[in-house]
């Protein structure tokens, strides 16, 4: 089941690009950071980029990029927490012993809420995706917008922000077409352009 679920995920570079675009779109549609789902920090650390999603119900993910490598952990409601999913594990467990060396320190970072984890996946140098445990059908649903791109994000934004986005236009952006001020202001006429540019620099 792992292979089937993980095989639909894009590679690290495409995933990074999609997460960046979703963070830009959220910054446009919701100038107030508190109400956004998607965030992206291009200067998280030395040669590190961090992207995240946080839902109002506590669901979330954190993605850490180092070069061509990426690791993602998240919490999906209705899924067992990770310490209950690894055979023989009881109570505290050094999960980093099961991670690739490139990310052995990942769970030691409090900002990533290591105690609130129901999945953890990674990709090293464009190899196949791996998971900390056996995935089941329906898991990783919070990565849908990353997997399905513009169409999925537009559908989600319609429900959450109550805004209609042109999927064709949005798809061009997901494919790398540069944005311009006219497009930004069309999506959110109340956008504070100067404030947005400050955030835009931290995302890109």
Kindly report, residue by residue over 92-139, the tens digit of the pLDDT.
Answer: 555 667 889 999 899 888 999 988 888 999 999 979 999 988 787 778
Q: Does the pTM of the predicted model rise above 0.95?
A: no
Query: Cβ distance 51 to 16 under 8 Å?
Result: yes
Please name which of 31, 98, 20, 32 lies closest in space to residue 65, comparing C-alpha atoms: 20
> pLDDT value at position 78?
75
**Tokens encoding 39:** 């965030």
Q: How confident is the model at residue 82 (pLDDT cuts 50, 70, 90)?
A: low
**pLDDT bucket at 184, cuts 50 / 70 / 90:** confident
User: Which pLDDT band holds residue 37 (cuts at 50, 70, 90)?
Assistant: very high
Q: To the nearest whole percent, how much of the chain has pLDDT over 90? A: 51
Q: What are the structure tokens assigned to 71, written together?
A: 């690791």
Q: What is the pLDDT of residue 179?
A: 78
**For residues 196-202, average pLDDT:** 86
Whether residue 20 has pLDDT greater than 90: yes
Mean pLDDT of the chain: 87
Per DSSP, the three-state class of 57 is: coil
Dump the DSSP string for 79-144.
S--GGGTSTT--SS--GGGGS-GGGTTGGG-GGG-TTS-SEEEEESTT---EESS---TTTTGGGH
Res 43 pLDDT > 60: yes
Summarised one tens digit per residue, pLDDT across range 130-168 is: 998 878 777 888 998 899 999 999 999 999 999 999 999
Greater model confidence, 99 or 69? 69
- Give percent of the chain above pLDDT 70: 90
Please say whether the beta carbons of 36 and 56 come within 8 A: no
Asked if pLDDT for residue 15 goes beyond 80, the answer is yes
Q: Residue 28 is inside which H or E element, if any?
A: helix 12-29
């Amino acid at each position: 089941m792992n292979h089937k679920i993980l095989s639909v995920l894009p590679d690290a570079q495409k995933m990074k690009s999609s997460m960046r675009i979703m963070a830009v779109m959220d910054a446009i549609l919701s100038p107030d950071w508190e109400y956004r789902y998607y965030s992206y920090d291009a200067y998280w650390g030395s040669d590190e980029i961090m992207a995240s999603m946080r839902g109002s119900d506590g669901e979330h993910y954190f993605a850490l990029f180092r070069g061509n490598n990426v690791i993602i952990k998240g919490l999906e409601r209705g899924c067992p927490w990770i310490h209950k999913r690894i055979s023989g594990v009881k109570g505290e467990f050094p999960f980093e012993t099961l991670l690739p060396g490139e990310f052995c320190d990942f769970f030691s970072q409090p900002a990533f809420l290591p105690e609130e984890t129901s999945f953890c996946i990674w990709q090293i140098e464009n190899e196949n995706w791996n998971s900390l445990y056996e995935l089941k059908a329906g898991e990783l649903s919070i990565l849908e917008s990353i997997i399905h791109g513009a169409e999925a994000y537009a559908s989600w934004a319609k429900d959450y922000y109550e805004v209609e986005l042109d999927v064709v236009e949005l798809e061009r952006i997901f494919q790398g077409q540069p944005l311009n001020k006219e497009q930004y202001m069309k999506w959110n006429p109340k956008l504070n352009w100067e404030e947005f540019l400050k955030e835009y620099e931290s995302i890109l």
